[in-house]
């Protein structure tokens, strides 16, 4: 078989957790047989090393549990064995002997007291030795000839039990000698070695990957395949960031750099032995074998595109008065000296007058807790403590000067109101890390992952109100094609029912209201504020006062609002001010372009003029499409009452046309414009001329409509006399010098206002720079299509502000 390739196939504990996973793994080995000579390296069966460690931690009080633990362990192995191999297989006896040895070693009190670590390593080695026996027997079952090997025969190490250092040259020679490629498929224990006295040592947790690397090197393997329980190397730990994506390809350099930054997929030392080789490394998922996984090769050039997040912790943070800091720092270093993995992480001093802070691994802190309090008592001092902190580190191998990667991440967190306890960054911006409480760390990791992710970031949407605008918006959203973001509708509601689905409601089919719950704003608000993994935009298309009054709570939770409802901006001035300050404080955003002139860019224009320092001196014109329609009809001799009835039929006017005729709608629009300009003004301060005859103010809707024709001749008269002067009537508003006046105006027929048709609005803006001729915005100012399109463009604008 000398012509074929050498493949090292390493199976982690999660890939061997039960009989069916072991059989699947054996099939994978079989699959490699055609073109390669496979060599198998195994970890202990999933969870076994943890159980063995538990065993070694028993003390006098708990020792009686050992029998049960060992029996359970043996039973678990034996059951798996019997499922994957035949009872007559000789390894079955070896497995039994192995557990006999475990019992003897466990009871070896003299070894335990003389050299606890050596004793412990012997016990830990049982896991890999047992799984090698089982796996090898499982291969025989598939007619693959195989032998189990204990790597303690050829992996030579020093005597640092628990984390032994490998003697590379001796090991390489012995592997070559023992693993003769012309033989049956070897199944080798990972994780274990032996020192010069032939005592068993272990290479540290997850060390089987490293064993596989050593074997790959010694045998000049062409290919090393590492089977685990995730889709290869991911952009982040999926337990923290469910949206983490797998990285297609990496270089050896990348993977060691990632390991150094705390990313955990394969053991940091795995690649080390084969660094100068052409071996290809493939990380695969036993739980999703079809996924291509991650390919790691020596020379792959990620081309500056590698971005990942590593989360480490938990940490505790100590804060102590200046004058004790140095002493404490010395003590911490001393205590951690015999424990090289737990060095105090930082020693920082903000200024001479501030307390000093240290971050420590929480496990280390637990170990030294007593010493620490004894020390504090002696100094007669106290320290402050934050615990359960995590470090979220964004790493990128991109290095373009001036790219400001950290700046972007920092402002992303700031926008989402996440304030790290500590930020650490490298001068060349290859990484930036944030220390945060667990919950915040999770949110931060999520946000950063969204920002660096290759696929589109997801933005959550909730749409309240499924009337004309809401429904049209849902349709438009479904047709929307964005290239750089994906919207997910997590819920929608009307006054009666609520649909909620955080995985996203499918917009391709009609909404299924059968699955709806009753709308309850207390519970809904609770759900909305708890759904804070992604940016959330709340669209209020209800026109309900109750909903508008919820905005403060939404803004306080950094939920962004987009609305065509005029209500929130036109309540009392103090409410408006409250909204503004919450928006500022919580980095929320509020877009309400469609409250004036529907989709016309009125609000954005005045905001832009103002932000460029162009002082606005006057805003005037027609902001009611219904009114334009009404006067157009009057011009054409249509009676007043009929024009209003038609406007209702066409959906321009409100169901009770008095809402339009009263001028209230126009008043609210001007109030919004004024407040957007920063003018403090209450509704009562506006002068508004109503078109509702005094006598009909308080009658019911039906009577109102019935009596309207009484006024037809009066209106005919009014429009005629204007026309005789070559003028016509328009319902206009004007904001000037902080005052708002609204009412009927007679304007020249050939003026822009006089020419208005359909449901058009016309807004004139005079400013310092536009003081002779105004800036004019004209177009359809009503209608569900234009309004929904305007809402959609506000949604997109919100996203722009966020990213
Ligand atoms: N079984 C050992 C552990 O759980 C080594 C390994 O799985 O790589 O740490
Ligand atoms: Mg508008």
Mean pLDDT of 70-77: 97
- Top mean-pLDDT range of 128-142, 453-467, 499-513: 128-142
Quote the ligand 2 centre to 791 CA distance (angstroms): 9
Q: Where are the domains of the chain?
A: 6-228, 308-436, 458-596+792-802, 602-779
Range in 86-95, 649-658, 661-670 with the lowest mean pLDDT: 649-658
Could you tell me the distance, in angstroms and rounded to a whole number, from the CA of residue 794 to the centre of ligand 2?
A: 10
Give the closest residue (by CA) to ligand 1 atom 6.
Answer: 206
Q: pLDDT tens digits for 390-413?
A: 988 887 765 444 445 566 788 788
**Edge-to-edge strand ranges of the sheet holding 307-320:** 348-349, 356-361, 307-320, 384-396, 431-437, 422-425
Return the pLDDT at 268: 83
What pLDDT score does 338 carry? 65
- pLDDT category, 578, cuts 50, 70, 90? very high
Average pLDDT value over all residues in the chain:
89
Asked if residues 754 and 748 have their Cβ atoms less than 8 Å apart, the reply is yes
Of ligand 1's atoms, which has the minimum distance to the CA of residue 13?
Answer: 7
pLDDT over 90 (residue 570): yes
Is residue 553 annotated as part of the catalytic site, yes or no?
no
pLDDT value for 401: 46
Q: State the pLDDT confidence band at 340, using cuts at 50, 70 and 90.
A: low
| pLDDT for position 773 | 84
Give the C-alpha distances (Å, rounded to integers) separating 739 from 226, 574, 680. Answer: 74, 19, 10
In contact, 654 and 660? CB cutoff 8 Å = yes
Which residue of 14, 52, 190 sits with most ligand 1 atoms within 8 Å of its CB, as the best mutation to test the pocket? 190
From the CA of 46, the nearest ligand is 1
Two tokens, residue 788? 């929904």
Q: Are 732 and 622 in contact (CB under 8 A)?
A: yes
Question: What is the atom index within ligand 1 of the atom nearest the CA of 211?
Answer: 8
pLDDT at residue 670 greater than cutoff 60: yes
Distance of CA 309 to the CA centre of its chain: 11
**Per-residue pLDDT at 2 exceeds 60:** no
pLDDT at 221: 96
Q: Homologous superfamily of 458-596+792-802 in CATH?
A: NAD(P)-binding Rossmann-like Domain (3.40.50.720)
State residue 344's pLDDT score.
62
Q: What pLDDT score does 5 carry? A: 92
CA 624 to chain centre: 42
- Residue with the smallest CA separation from ligand 1 atom 2 is 206
431 against 468, higher pLDDT: 468
Does residue 618 surpass a pLDDT of 50?
Answer: yes
Say how many Å lie between the CA of residue 129 and the centre of ligand 1: 12
Q: How far is the CA of 118 from the centre of ligand 1 (A)?
A: 17
Question: Which CATH number is 308-436 given?
Answer: 3.30.2130.10
Q: For residue 128, which atom of ligand 1 is closest to its CA?
A: 1
Residue 350 above 80 pLDDT? Answer: no
Q: Which of 55, 162, 201, 208 to mutate to test the pocket of ligand 1 (most atoms within 8 A of CB)?
A: 208
pLDDT (tens digit per residue) in 291-339: 999 999 998 876 656 778 889 889 998 888 878 888 888 888 888 776 6
As a whole number of angstroms, the distance between CA 323 and CA 311 comes to: 33
Mutate to test the pocket of ligand 1, among 130, 135, 191 (most ligand atoms within 8 A of CB): 191
SS3 assignment for 346-383: CCEECCCCCCEEEEEEHHHHHHHHHHHHHHHHHHCCCC
Atom of ligand 1 nearest to the CA of 209: 8
Atom of ligand 1 nearest to the CA of 127: 1
b vs e for 332-367, b when ≥16 Cβ sit within 10 Å of the residue's Cβ? Answer: beebbeeeeebebbeeeeeeeeeebbbbbbbebbeb
Nearest-atom index, ligand 1, CA of 267:
8
The helix or strand, by DSSP H or E, that contains position 660, with its residue range, turns out to be: helix 658-661
Give per-residue pLDDT as tens, 362-392.
Answer: 888 888 889 888 988 888 888 888 899 998 8
Question: What's the average model confidence in pLDDT over 548-567?
Answer: 95
Q: Alpha carbon 19 to chain centroid distance?
A: 36
Q: What is the pLDDT of residue 166?
A: 97
pLDDT for residue 167 is more than 50:
yes
C-alpha angle 520/524/526, rounded to 5°?
125
Q: How far is the CA of 1 from the centre of ligand 1 (A)?
A: 32
Predicted confidence (pLDDT) at residue 656 exceeds the cutoff of 80: no
Of 623, 614, 622, 620, the closest CA to residue 770 belongs to 614
| pLDDT tens profile 209-239 | 999 999 999 999 999 999 999 999 988 888 8
Helix (H, G, I), strand (E, B) or coil at 27: helix
* 696-716 pLDDT tens trace: 888 888 889 899 999 999 999
Q: Which of 10, 40, 44, 163 to mutate to test the pocket of ligand 1 (most atoms within 8 A of CB)?
A: 44
Fold that domain 6-228 belongs to in CATH = Carbamate kinase (3.40.1160)
Mind listing the pLDDT tens digit for each residue in 98-135? 999 999 999 999 999 999 999 999 999 999 999 999 99
Q: For atom 8 of ligand 1, which residue has the closest CA? A: 206
- The closest ligand to the CA of 132 turns out to be 1
Mean per-residue pLDDT for 28-57? 95
pLDDT for residue 731: 96
The residue-averaged pLDDT of 575-600 equals 92
Q: What is the pLDDT of residues 48-68, one digit of tens each?
A: 999 999 999 998 899 899 999
Q: How many CB atoms lie within 10 A of CB 73?
A: 21
| Ligand 2 center–CA 673 separation, angstroms | 10
Regarding predicted confidence, which is higher, 790 or 345? Answer: 790
Segment 347-361 mean pLDDT: 71
Whether the predicted pLDDT of 1 surpasses 50? no
21-30, 205-214, 604-613, 718-727: least confidently modelled range? 604-613
Q: What value does the mean pLDDT take over residues 760-771?
A: 90
Residues with CB under 6 A from ligand 1: 12-13, 43-44, 49, 127, 190-191, 205-208
Ligand 2 centroid to residue 643 C-alpha, Å: 25
Catalytic residue among 156, 307, 471, 669: 669
Q: Is the pLDDT of residue 801 over 80?
A: no
Structural tokens at position 386: 């934050």
The per-residue pLDDT for range 733-747, each reduced to its tens digit, is 999 999 999 999 999
Q: What's the CA gap between 502 and 490, in Å, rounded?
A: 5
pLDDT, mean of residues 654-678: 90
**What global pTM score does this model have?**
0.61
Which class does domain 602-779 fall in?
alpha beta
pLDDT surpassing 80 at residue 537: yes
Contact 517, 566 (CB under 8 A): no
pLDDT at 532 over 70: no
Nearest Cα residue to atom 5 of ligand 1: 206
Pairing of strands 536-540, 458-464: parallel
Q: How confident is the model at residue 674 (pLDDT cuts 50, 70, 90)?
A: very high
pLDDT of residue 383: 80
Q: Tell me the two tokens of residue 17.
A: 């957790």
Separation of CA 86 and ligand 1 centre (Å)? 27
């Amino acid at each position: 078989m000398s012509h074929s390739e050498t493949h090292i196939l390493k199976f982690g504990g999660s890939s061997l957790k039960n009989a069916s996973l072991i059989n699947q793994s054996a099939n994978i080995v079989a699959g490699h047989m055609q073109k390669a000579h496979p060599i198998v390296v195994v970890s202990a069966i999933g969870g076994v090393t943890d159980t063995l460690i538990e065993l070694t931690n028993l003390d006098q009080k708990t020792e009686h549990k050992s029998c049960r633990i060992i029996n359970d362990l043996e039973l678990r192995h034996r059951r798996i064995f019997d499922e994957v191999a035949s009872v007559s297989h000789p390894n079955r006896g070896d497995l039994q002997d192995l557990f006999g040895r475990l019992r003897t070693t466990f009871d070896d009190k003299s070894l335990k007291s003389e050299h606890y670590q050596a004793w412990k390593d012997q016990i830990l080695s049982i896991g890999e030795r047992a799984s090698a026996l089982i796996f090898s027997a499982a291969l025989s079952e598939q007619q693959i000839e195989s032998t189990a090997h204990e790597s303690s025969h050829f992996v030579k190490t020093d005597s640092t039990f628990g984390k032994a250092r490998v003697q590379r040259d001796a090991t390489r020679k012995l592997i070559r000698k023992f693993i003769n490629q012309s033989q049956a498929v070897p199944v080798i224990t990972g994780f274990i070695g032996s020192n010069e006295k032939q005592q068993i040592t272990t290479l540290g947790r997850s060390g089987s990957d490293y064993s596989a690397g050593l074997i790959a090197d010694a045998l000049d393997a062409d290919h090393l395949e590492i089977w685990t329980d995730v889709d290869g190397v991911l952009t982040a730990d999926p337990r923290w960031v469910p949206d983490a994506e797998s990285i297609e390809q990496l270089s050896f350099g990348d993977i060691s750099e990632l390991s150094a930054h705390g990313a955990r997929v394969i053991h940091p030392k795995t690649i080390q032995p084969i660094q100068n080789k052409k071996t290809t490394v493939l990380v695969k998922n036993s739980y999703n074998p079809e996924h291509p996984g991650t390919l790691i090769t020596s020379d792959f050039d990620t081309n500056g595109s590698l971005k990942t997040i590593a989360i480490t912790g938990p940490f505790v943070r100590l804060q102590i008065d200046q004058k004790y800091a140095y002493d404490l720092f010395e003590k911490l270093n001393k205590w951690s000296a015999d424990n090289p993995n737990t060095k105090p992480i930082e020693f920082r001093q903000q200024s001479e007058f501030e307390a000093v802070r240290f971050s420590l691994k929480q496990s280390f802190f637990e170990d030294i807790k007593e010493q620490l309090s004894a020390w504090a008592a002696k100094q007669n001092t106290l320290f402050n403590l934050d615990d359960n902190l995590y470090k979220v580190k964004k790493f990128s191998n991109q290095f373009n000067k001036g790219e400001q990667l950290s700046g972007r991440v920092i402002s992303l967190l700031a926008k989402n109101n996440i304030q790290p306890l500590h930020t650490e960054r490298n001068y060349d911006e290859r990484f930036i890390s944030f220390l945060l409480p667990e919950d915040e760390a999770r949110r931060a990791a999520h946000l950063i992952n969204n920002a660096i992710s290759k696929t589109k970031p997801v933005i959550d949407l909730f749409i309240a109100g499924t009337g004309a605008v809401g429904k049209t918006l849902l349709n438009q959203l479904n047709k929307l094609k964005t290239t750089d973001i994906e919207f997910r509708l997590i819920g929608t509601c009307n006054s009666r029912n609520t649909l909620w689905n955080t995985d996203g409601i499918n917009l391709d089919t009609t909404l299924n209201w059968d699955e709806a719950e009753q709308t309850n704003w207390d519970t809904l608000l609770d759900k909305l504020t708890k759904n804070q993994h992604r940016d959330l935009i709340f669209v209020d298309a209800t026109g309900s006062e109750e909903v508008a009054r919820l905005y403060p709570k939404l803004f306080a939770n950094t939920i962004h609002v987009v609305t065509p409802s005029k209500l929130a901006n036109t309540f009392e001035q103090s409410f408006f001010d409250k909204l503004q300050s919450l928006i500022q404080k919580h980095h929320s955003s509020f877009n309400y372009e469609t409250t004036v002139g529907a989709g016309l860019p009125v609000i954005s224009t005045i905001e832009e003029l103002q932000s460029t320092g162009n002082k606005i001196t006057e805003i005037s014109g027609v902001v009611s499409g219904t009114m334009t329609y009404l006067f157009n009809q009057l011009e054409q001799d249509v009676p007043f009452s009929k024009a209003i009835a038609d406007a209702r039929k066409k959906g321009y006017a409100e169901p009770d046309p008095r809402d339009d005729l009263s001028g209230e709608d126009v008043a609210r629009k001007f109030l919004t414009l004024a407040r957007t300009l920063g003018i403090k003004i209450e509704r009562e301060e506006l002068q508004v001329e109503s078109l509702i005859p005094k006598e009909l103010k308080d009658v019911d809707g039906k009577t109102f409509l019935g009596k309207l024709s009484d006024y037809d001749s009066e209106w005919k008269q009014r429009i005629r006399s204007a026309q005789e002067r070559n003028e016509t009537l328009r319902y206009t508003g004007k904001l000037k010098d902080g005052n708002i006046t609204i009412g009927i105006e007679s304007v020249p027929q050939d003026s822009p206002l006089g020419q208005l048709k359909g449901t058009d609005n016309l807004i004139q803006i005079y400013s310092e720079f536009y003081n002779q001729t105004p800036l004019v915005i004209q177009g359809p100012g009503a209608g569900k299509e234009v309004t929904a399109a305007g809402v959609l463009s506000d949604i997109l604008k919100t996203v722009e502000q966020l990213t």
